[in-house]
């Protein structure tokens, strides 16, 4: 599965469009990570626990999007976009979407 | 009169926290900026553009999505300064380095991701910012933001010279 955030797959031509595919996941924060983050909030700097958590979650959203693209017979997703929204205190939704296509 | 020591502690605690946060926060920020400058200098030749890149002398032999992200928070002292500023409005100077650092760090990570995968350029780079709410639910305004940088990594190969 080739992913791209441009309108086509660079160096290849699109043969068929399959429409929009999406993948999302809602994650809550681990209590231990949150305590560490609370401490980090005093001195500032990177909250590594959150960075990892959101990266894992985003990876999962992308995998779900890929699975959906595969199920409709596509071999690539173009114009991939991401959004993050905090749906509740301590939980965030990671969302990935794009257009499923077939390239040669 | 026995209440006065505890009152003193109550007064001194936030003050100590402010001073501690000021020094440690500043040290962390300075260190981060130093590291960023070194890494940015090392990767200055790596092509990163915000439009679909079309190389002239090379052909594209592979592509993939590359990402880099960071969650970063501001220190207690800067949050205090920002709180003061919010009374009068205007430019919150203490928050600007936070977002600057986070963005540069995210872009660097994206470049490193691309380079680690053997890609030579990043095309159509985009940046996203999201606020991360704290789960403790206090209304102190946890200033943690996530910055995501993503783009399409390109593998380039020099075109074979056209045979006459």
pLDDT at position B150: 95
If you measure CA to CA, which chain A residue comes closest to B137? A89
Q: Which domain holds residue B138?
A: 4-158
Chain A contacts in chain B segment 38-57 (CB below 8 A): 52-53
Quote the CA–CA distance of A8 and B123 in Å, as a whole number. 12
Q: Higher confidence at residue B65 or residue B94?
A: B65
Domain parsing of chain A, residue ranges? 2-28+57-103
Q: Which residues of B touch A11 (CB under 8 A)?
A: 59-63
Residue B87: pLDDT band (50, 70, 90) is confident
pLDDT at position A74: 94
CATH number of A2-28+57-103: 3.30.110.70
CB B66 within 8 A of CB A2: no
For B5-27, how does the pLDDT look when each residue is reduced to its tens digit (9 = 90+)?
Answer: 777 888 888 888 888 888 888 88
Structure tokens given for B107: 């872009």
Is the residue at B151 inside a domain?
yes
Quote the CA–CA distance of B87 and A103 in Å, as a whole number. 56
Quote the CA–CA distance of B87 and B81 in Å, as a whole number. 10
Quote the CA–CA distance of A65 and A20 in Å, as a whole number. 10
CB A44 within 8 A of CB B75: yes
CB B153 within 8 A of CB B121: yes
CA distance B1 to chain A (A): 32
Is the residue at B147 inside a domain?
yes
Q: Is the ipTM of this complex over 0.90?
A: no
If you measure CA to CA, which chain B residue comes closest to A92? B132
pLDDT at position A48: 83
Is the residue at B164 inside a domain?
no
pLDDT at position B142: 58
Is the residue at B163 inside a domain?
no
Q: What average pLDDT does range B66-70 have in this prediction?
A: 94
pLDDT at position A38: 66
Per the DSSP assignment, residues forming a β-bridge with B70 are B147
Quote the CA–CA distance of B100 and B102 in Å, as a whole number. 6
**What is the count of structural domains for chain B?**
1
Percent helix / strand / coil, chain B, rounded to 5: 45, 25, 25
Region of B124 (left: φ > 0; alpha: ψ -120 to 50; beta: rest) is left
Check B144 against A82: CB less than 8 A apart: no
Please tell me the total number of residues recorded for chain B in this structure.
Answer: 164
CATH number at residue B34: 3.30.110.70
If you measure CA to CA, which chain B residue comes closest to A49? B71
Percent of chain B with pLDDT strictly greater than 90: 40
CA distance A49 to chain B (A): 9
pLDDT at position B2: 56
Neighbour tally for B42: CB within 10 Å: 11
Is the residue at B145 inside a domain?
yes
Enumerate residue ranges in chain A where pLDDT < 50: none
Q: What average pLDDT does range B131-139 have in this prediction?
A: 57
Check A5 against B132: CB less than 8 A apart: no
Classify B80 as helix, strand or coil.
Answer: helix
């Amino acid at each position: 599965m080739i992913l791209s955030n441009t309108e086509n797959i660079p160096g290849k031509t699109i043969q068929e469009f399959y429409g929009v595919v999406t993948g999302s996941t809602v994650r809550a924060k681990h209590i231990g990570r949150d305590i560490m983050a609370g401490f980090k909030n005093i001195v500032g700097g990177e909250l590594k626990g959150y960075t990892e958590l959101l990266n894992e979650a985003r990876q999962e959203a992308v995998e779900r999007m890929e699975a959906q693209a595969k199920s409709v017979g596509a071999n690539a997703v173009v114009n991939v976009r991401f959004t993050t929204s905090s749906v509740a205190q301590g939980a965030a939704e990671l969302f990935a979407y794009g257009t499923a296509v077939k390239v040669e | 009169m026995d209440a006065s020591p505890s009152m003193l502690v109550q007064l001194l605690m936030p003050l100590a926290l402010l001073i501690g946060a000021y020094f440690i926060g500043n040290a962390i920020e300075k260190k981060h900026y130093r590291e960023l400058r070194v890494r940015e200098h090392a990767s200055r030749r790596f092509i990163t553009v915000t439009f679909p890149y079309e190389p002239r002398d090379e052909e594209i032999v592979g592509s993939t999505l590359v990402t880099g992200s960071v969650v970063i928070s501001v220190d207690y002292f800067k949050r205090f300064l920002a709180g003061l500023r919010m009374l009068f409005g205007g430019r919150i100077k203490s928050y600007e380095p936070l977002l600057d650092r986070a963005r540069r760090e995210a872009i660097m990570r994206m470049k490193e991701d691309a380079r680690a995968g053997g890609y030579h350029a990043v095309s159509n780079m985009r940046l996203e910012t999201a606020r991360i709410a704290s789960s403790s639910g206090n209304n102190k305004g946890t200033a943690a933001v996530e910055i995501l940088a993503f783009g399409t990594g390109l593998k380039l190969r020099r075109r074979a010279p056209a045979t006459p």
